[in-house]
Structure 1
Amino acid sequence: MYHLPETPFSHPLRLAVLISGGGTTLDNFVARIAARTLPAEIVLVIASRSDCGGVDKARRHGLDTRVVSRQAHTSTATFSDEIFALCREARVDLVLLGGFLCLLQIPDDYLGRVMNIHPALIPAFCGAGYFGEKVHRAVHARGVKVTGCTVHFADNQYDHGPVIVQRTVPVYGADSPADIAHRVFEEECQAYPEAVNLYASARLRIIDGRVWIEGEGSTRSPTETA
């Protein structure tokens, strides 16, 4: 069962950001918080590798930064246990996966409290093996005319779970995978904070596996259409 807030948060949302790479998504959240467009604070950064560029970025921002190595664990369960123990200790309200490449086993008390962003329009170009530039190379090779990004609640599968926000971008014939990546990332920088703001304002509901955004579109309530 997903645990979603029923009333808006009265305090800045306490965020944990999980990273495996350069920390560009982390940088975006730091900038949004500094600009006061995101009512949140990053109380914890967890990296799956000590040598990823995002670790240095997080420490330069003065953020509490931990490394939890997947290789040090024999199972997804124990790896996840260590991560969520740190989240509980830091009283994290919402966990954000920002280029975090390791599968997690999400405990019941954090189901609906973990978001992920994927650089394609789920269910296309997603799942195990689809991450980073691999996604954009696949988009380029397939010749699709539209791609984008997806923010969704994470569950125990790669790039799975109820979709919260999607944004689209065109794909042009002359585009390289790098061109596509740049265009998609610009939308990621908008979509992820949008999803977090919706969560903080308690506007998200999950009905029959689908996310409803209160105040959007139909004036009917989810229970009237479920």
Structure 2
Amino acid sequence: MKKIVIFASGSGSNAENIVLHFNKKGSANVVGIFTNNPNAKVLERAKYLNIPSEVFTRQELNEGEILEKLIQLQPDLIVLAGFLLKFPEPIVKAFPNKIVNIHPALLPNYGGKGMYGMNVHRAVFENKEKETGITIHYVNEHYDEGEFIFQKSVNIEDCKSAEEIAERNSVLEQLHFPEIIETLLT
């Protein structure tokens, strides 16, 4: 059975959705959820879903301790689902084309350092964009510059706030992220 490791920094709604998707399908197992945030709600979700979790520091991520743990787990895919730290180059090199990220915009627009979550949705709203969407891409050594795997757009002309845009994007994420992960694993 294929193994997935998820990295998340926040609520973990995408992480939970991925776990539930693969629990239902039976084609892969989430073998760990890693977070850099000891207060992240994803930890509660991991406990509820009976998935082992790991809290780590930026130093542990950058100095190889997390790489060692990943090598022990031997995941078929590493999924960044709302993970806010830049992934270190040694991990990217150790798992080529096995690390994917979801970004809440149509890259290359609204990507890069600091462009995550509500920061993206506020920028999209302030620029009066007519559409936005999601991008699922491979992770490389630069923020949001890896090869695109999938993009899906949504019309937001009638959205009256960044929060409404975030809700529309969340629907896309919940629908498409598990499906694309499944495709990558087969």
Q: Which of the five TM-score ranges fits, normalised by the shorter chain?
A: over 0.9
Is 1:179 aligned to 2:168, yes or no? no
| 1:1-226 aligned within 5 A | 12-36=1-25, 39-70=27-58, 73=59, 77-78=62-63, 81-107=64-90, 108-201=93-186
Aligned 8 A contact 1:14 1:43 in 2 = yes
1:149, 1:157 → 2: CA distance? Answer: 18
Q: Percent identity?
A: 28
More helix by share: 2
> Distance in 2 between the 1:68 and 1:148 partners?
30
Q: CA deviation at 1:62?
A: 0.8
The C-alpha deviation readout for 1:168-198, integer Å capped at 9, x for no partner, is: 1001244311111011111111221222122
Max Rg structure: 1
Mapped partners of 1:82, 1:45: distance in 2 = 15
Match of 2:80, SS state, is strand
- Say whether the 8 Å CA contact 2:159–2:165 is kept in structure 1: no
Counterpart Cα distance in 2 of 1:181 and 1:112: 28
* Cα distance in 1 for residues equivalent to 2:156 and 2:128: 8
3-state SS, counterpart of residue 35 of structure 1: helix
CA contact (8 A) 2:7 2:81 kept: yes
* RMSD after superposition: 1.5
1:69-96 Cα offsets, whole Å, 9 max, x none, are 11xx28x631xx2222111111211100
CA distance in 1, matches of 2:101, 2:180: 10
Which residue identity is paired with 1:33? F
Equivalenced residues, count: 184
Q: Give the unaligned 5+ runs of structure 2.
A: none
Instruction: Tell me, yes or no, if the aligned pair for 1:151 and 1:191 is still in contact at 8 Å.
Output: no
Distance in 2 (CA, whole Å) between partners of 1:145 and 1:130 is 19
User: By how many angstroms is 1:136 displaced?
Assistant: 0.4
- Alpha-carbon contact 1:121-1:150 (below 8 Å) kept: yes
1:125-165 Cα offsets, whole Å, 9 max, x none, are 11101111111000000011010000000011111100001
CA shift, 1:35, in A, is 2.4
| Stretch of structure 1 that moved more, 192-201 or 125-134 | 192-201
Given that 1:147 and 1:168 are in contact with CA atoms closer than 8 Å, whether structure 2 keeps it comes out as: yes
Relative to the length of structure 1, the TM-score reads 0.77
| Structure 1: stretches of 5+ with no match in the other structure | 1-11, 202-226
CA contact 1:103–1:158 (8 Å) conserved in 2: yes
Tell me the distance in 1 between the aligned counterparts of 2:142 and 2:82.
15
Q: Which runs of 4+ in 1 moved over 6 A?
A: none
